[in-house]
Amino acid sequence: MTRIAFIGAGSVVFTQGLLADLFALELGPLQIALHDIDPERLETAAAAAAYIARERGVVPQISTHLERRAALDGADFVINIVQVGMNAATHADFEIPARYGIRQTIGDTLGVGGVFRALRTFPVLRGLAQDIADMCPDAWLLNYTNPMVMNVWYLKALGVRNVVGLCHSVYWTMQGLSELVGVPYDDVTYLAAGVNHQSWVLRFERGSENLYDRLDEAIAADPELLRRVRVDMYRRLGFYPTETSEHSAEYVPWYLGHAREVERLRLPIGAYLDIVAENLASYEHTRNALKTGDPVEVEPTMEYAPQIIHSIVTGTPRTVYGNVPNTGLIPNLQPGAVVEVPCLVDASGVRPTAVGALPAQCAALNRAYLSVAELAVQAAIEEDPRAIRQAVMVDPATAAALPVEQIWELCNDLVLAHRNYLDPSLRAALR
C-alpha cells in the first residue's frame, strides 16, 4: 500500500486539486495522511478528501494528524505545501516594504518578500527534515512551498536525500505559447531550463519548424502583447521566460522601480494580496459546502506530484520539470545551486537531465537570482543575521529601488514583524 503524507493539508484548495489528480490514477491501495496544525482546516481537508474519493469512485484510507511525525510514519511520499504565517505574515511582507517605496506583485520567490518568506519557513523545514529522517528516510519529498529555490537548497543542505521542488510554470507557459502560435500543445516539442520562475524556453518547435518564428509574427500582429513583461524580456533577451509577467517583473531591476513601466506593462502591484483573499474565500466556500452537503467543484490540476508518484509506483516513464541541485546540469550556473531542468521519472525515482550551458544573457540573470537565494540559505545555515541584509542588498529589484541604509532599516522592520517565526539567532536588529 502506498502512503502519501500531505504536510500543510489545510491549504485545502491545493490539497483538493492534488487529491483529484491522484484519485484519477491507477495507484492501487492508498493511504492518505493529512497533517496540519489548524484543527478546523485539517477537518475540512479530511472532509474534502473523502468527498473527492467518493466522486472518483476510490476507497483510500484517509487519516488526519495534528502531530507531524504520525502523518510521516512509514510514508512513501511527502507533499509539502505549508505556508508559515499564513495571511498575516504575507500582508506584512507587502505592507512594510511598501512604506519604503518597494513595489511587489507576488513577493513569494525573490526580493525582500521572498527572502523573509524563506526565513520563516526554514525552521519548519528543519523539523520536517528531521522527522523524515526518523520516520520515513527513503520517502520522496515533493516540495511545492515557495520560495522554491531557497527551500529546496536549504533542505539539501540539511541532508534530505530524495527531494525535488515542483512548479507548474513551465507546463502552463508552454500551454499558453502553443495557444498563442496556434499549434496544439501535443504537437509541440520544447526544452526549458534555468531557475524556478526564471527558466528559459530554449527550444520551441513542431517537427523541424521553429515556433519562435510564429511567436514573432503573433507579437508583430498584436501590439498589446508588447505590454507584457515577459514579451518585453523575450524581445530583448531572445528567449521566453517561463513565468507570468507579474512574477517576472520582480526578479530584474528594470520594471517595478519605474512608475512609467508599471503603467506601460500593466503590473498589478500587490496582486498576491488579492490571491490571498480569493484563497480564503474559496476555503470558506468549500468548508461550508462540505458541512451542508452541497456539491464541491474540484478541477484537475495537471500538477507534477501525482505524475511522479504514479511513475515511481507503477514504473511508467515520464518527463517532468523539477528543481534539483546543480550537479553539472547547467555548467554556467553555480554548482550546488537549485536549478530547474527536465527530469526523467520511473520506478528508480527522479533523475535530472543535463541541459548544458545557458545562453550567456540568461545565465547572467539566473546567477543574480541565485546569489540572493544563496545568501538567504547562508543566513540560516550559518546563523548569520548580516547575510539576511546582504541577500536583500544584492536582490536586483530591491537594489534598484533603495539605498543600502534603507535596505538595512527595512530588514530590521521585517525581522521585528516576523521574529516569532525566525530562528533566535536571526532576530537581532543591525545597524
Domain boundaries, the chain: 2-87+109-165, 88-108+166-269+301-431
Report whether CATH 3.40.50.720 matches the domain 2-87+109-165. Answer: yes
Domain 2-87+109-165 and domain 88-108+166-269+301-431, same fold? Reply is: no
Degrees to nearest 5, angle at CA 351 with 350 and 356: 140
372-425 pLDDT, tens digit per residue, is 999 999 999 999 999 999 999 999 999 999 999 999 999 999 999 999 999 999
Instruction: Give the Cα separation of 92 and 413 in Å (integer).
Output: 10
Cα end-to-end span (Å), the chain: 55
- The residues annotated as belonging to the active site are 168
Degrees to nearest 5, angle at CA 178 with 172 and 181: 140
85-140 pLDDT, tens digit per residue, is 989 999 999 999 999 999 999 999 999 999 999 999 999 999 999 999 999 999 99
Q: For residue 59, what pLDDT band results from cuts at 50, 70 and 90?
A: very high
What are the residues whose beta carbons fall under 8 Å from the beta carbon of 293, sequence distance 6 or more? none
Q: For residue 361, what pLDDT band results from cuts at 50, 70 and 90?
A: very high
Report domain 88-108+166-269+301-431's class.
Answer: alpha beta
Using CA atoms, how far residue 12 sits from 22, 36, 47, 55, in Å, is: 15, 10, 10, 17
Instruction: Give the Cα separation of 29 and 36 in Å (integer).
Output: 23
Q: Would you state the pLDDT for residue 285?
A: 87
127-168 pLDDT, tens digit per residue, is 999 999 999 999 999 999 999 999 999 999 999 999 999 999
Instruction: Give the Cα separation of 279 and 16 in Å (integer).
Output: 13
pTM as predicted = 0.96
167 is in an annotated binding site: yes
343 is in an annotated binding site: no
Q: Is the dihedral of CA 122, 128, 134, 136 positive or negative?
A: negative
Burial (CB count within 10 angstroms: exposed 0-12, middle 13-18, buried 19+), residue 295: exposed
Instruction: Give the Cα separation of 90 and 97 in Å (integer).
Output: 11
What are the residues whose beta carbons fall under 8 Å from the beta carbon of 44, sequence distance 6 or more? 10, 12, 283, 286, 287, 290
